Structure 1
């Protein structure tokens, strides 16, 4: 059984964010090469990159409560400015989806050890 009181590891969260950032960049490049039919994949990868970029720098990863607060702040934003995306509405929907996923991971403090490219 897993230990439900596992301590928060800010370094592991930063590593996870860095790896997801790099994976999203690779996913964007792959979708861009596939062309028009991969626009949704491109926007989804761009949204993940935006989320990781917004969270990976700064001190918010040091403590679980600070990270959760930053996520709540980002979820509450009205818009997420980005360039070179195909559909603003779809992009914002994907950003919110990634933020909610991270909020759930933060709440239960699980999933940050999974650093493989595909999740």
Structure 2
């Protein structure tokens, strides 16, 4: 990635501020916008075969890239407003998954692990 998430968050803050949109960028509104954009991303893959989904036609690739940009924008803005470090959250989730899904027990399996016990 060429721009880190903190730089993107600052750019998004500036973008919203320049347009006086901060009042619209509530966590609720951003989550709803994020869900809509994820739906648009899903629609790009909905009727593709697994093979087609791994080698997108150029026009589809461009639309997917644009939708991923939208999803990222809303996700980064939401995390910034809530004070959540996205990379830290992703690493914490991966740490949890590593504990839940022992590589030797789950290699090649799509089965779900039982919840972790404290």
TM-score by length of 1: 0.33
Greater helix content: 2
TM-score by length of 2: 0.33
